[in-house]
Amino acid sequence: MTHPLPETIAPSLELIEQLAHDAVANLPDPWREPATHVVLRIEDFPPEEMLEAMDLNDPFELTGLYEGIPLTEKSVHDQPMHPDLIWLFRRPILDEWAERGDVSIGELITHVVVHELAHHFGWSDEDIARIDRWWE
């Protein structure tokens, strides 16, 4: 029995998670350390209730989602129900990666992570462009 070569196997949930952590570790100061406090959660697809809440019918439309209160809106009076969270959805990410064909999976994961962190930190488009060249 022939086994597929590693580069022909779709990246696993574990690899996507490692690439997401690498994206955070490679953020410039002063963002790197605070970004480590945002939980990364990797799933194959968004949960059905999340799609319904966002009025989406196709689970492939959502590659990532920030769930939390942006730092620009937080108050000392807020009682957090759970830590700030970034969801990454493996199958929609892989679909976009295959359709693009011009970026590495690591570059795409970094792009999605930076986009979701922008919601957390309240970054402007200019802030995002300084961190993620795709945004320009």
Q: What tens digit of pLDDT does each residue of 27-44 get?
A: 999 999 999 999 999 999
**Maximum Cα–Cα distance across the chain:** 61
Task: Tell me the whole-structure pTM to 2 decimals.
Answer: 0.86
Q: Compute the distance between CA of residue 86 and CA of residue 96 in angstroms, rounded to an integer.
A: 18
For position 44, what pLDDT does the model report? 97
**pLDDT, tens digit, for every residue of 98-125?**
999 889 999 999 999 999 999 999 998 8
At 52, is the pLDDT very low, low, confident or very high (cuts 50, 70, 90)?
A: very high
Identify whether 30 is preceded by a cis peptide bond (ω within 30 of 0): yes
Buried b (16+ CB within 10 A) or exposed e, 87-125: bbbbebbbeebeeeeeeebbbbbbbbbbbbbbbbbebee
Express each pLDDT in 64-105 by its tens digit.
999 987 776 766 666 667 789 999 999 999 999 999 988 999
Distance CA 11, CA 106 (A): 10
Question: Each residue of 3-29: pLDDT tens digit?
Answer: 554 556 788 999 999 999 999 999 999
User: Is 20 or 2 the better-scoring residue by pLDDT?
Assistant: 20
Q: Which residue has the higher pLDDT, 135 or 23?
A: 23
pLDDT of residue 2 exceeding 60 = no
Q: Where are the domains of the chain?
A: 11-69+82-135
Domain at 11-69+82-135, CATH class: alpha beta
